[in-house]
């Protein structure tokens, strides 16, 4: 894989709690965090790539398309990679979730998205799944192995304050 992500974030694991305990940064645990950490999920990594990385991810995306819970022909890499730079004037990014380690991992989720800033002064910025008149379906590709866990990990990583991503996520024409 030659694509270099713009951002990478790792899902919560027991190592983070151990390191913060050793550093003296312990605090009372939120019940929602305890529930997530109590599950025996594999460690997952969120990576956000520029739209041009779609060409480098073709093989992984083909494999994900064959294993997805809900197929979306418009997020197939044979359509997605060449179409995004030509159909959009917005800055589109690819959010992917992988599990495994640096030597062997598998793509579990693909969400092409754009961040839209409001024109109204008091409006809120939103993350919107990519769609266009030529590819109107915005359903993300989610691997059929543990889809609920993958989506939960995706939203828990997106909501981390230090990433400074919008708090509103819009699925286009699902």
How many other C-beta atoms can be found within 10 angstroms of the C-beta atom of residue 18? 10
Confidence label for 97 from pLDDT (cuts 50, 70 and 90): very high
pLDDT of residue 155: 94
* pLDDT computed for residue 88 by the predictor: 66
Q: Is residue 59 part of a domain?
A: yes
Widest pairwise Cα distance in the chain: 53
pLDDT digits (tens, 9 = 90+) for 63-73: 999 999 999 99
Q: Considering the domain boundaries, does residue 143 fall inside one?
A: yes
Q: Give how many domains the chain has, as a whole number.
A: 1
- The pLDDT assigned to 36 comes to 53
Long-range contacts at 143-147 (CB < 8 A, ≥ 24 apart): 143/64, 143/67, 143/68, 143/69, 143/106, 143/107, 143/108, 143/109, 144/67, 144/68, 144/69, 145/67, 145/108, 146/41, 146/108, 147/69
For tokens 């998205």, the residue is 113
Residue 102 lies in a domain: yes
Residue 83 lies in a domain: yes
Task: Report yes or no: 92 and 84 within 8 Å, Cβ to Cβ.
Answer: yes
Residue 1 lies in a domain: no
Q: Which residues contact 124 (CB under 8 A, 6 or more apart)?
A: 118, 166, 167, 168
| Segments forming the whole domain that contains residue 53 | 7-170
Q: Judge whether 19 lies within some domain.
A: yes
CATH code, domain with 55:
3.40.630
Q: Is residue 2 part of a domain?
A: no
In a domain? residue 80: yes
Token readout for 90 is: 């917005």
Which residues pair with residue 10 across a beta bridge? 45
Indicate the pTM of the whole model. 0.79
């Amino acid at each position: 894989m030659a694509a270099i992500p713009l951002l990478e974030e790792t899902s919560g694991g027991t190592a983070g709690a151990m390191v913060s305990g050793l550093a003296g940064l312990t605090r009372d645990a939120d019940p929602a965090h305890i529930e997530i950490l109590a599950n025996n999920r594999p460690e997952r990594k969120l990576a956000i790539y520029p739209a041009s990385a779609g060409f480098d991810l073709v093989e992984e995306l083909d494999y994900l398309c064959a294993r997805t819970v809900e197929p979306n022909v418009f997020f197939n890499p044979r359509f997605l990679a060449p179409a995004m730079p030509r159909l959009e004037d917005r800055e589109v990014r690819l959010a992917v979730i992988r599990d495994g380690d640096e030597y062997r991992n598998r793509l579990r989720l693909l969400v092409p998205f754009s961040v839209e800033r409001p024109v109204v002064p008091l409006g809120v910025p939103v993350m919107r799944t990519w769609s266009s008149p030529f590819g109107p379906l915005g359903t993300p590709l989610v691997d059929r192995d543990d889809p609920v866990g993958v989506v939960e990990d995706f939203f828990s990583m997106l909501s981390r304050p230090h990433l400074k991503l919008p708090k509103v996520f819009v699925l286009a024409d699902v």
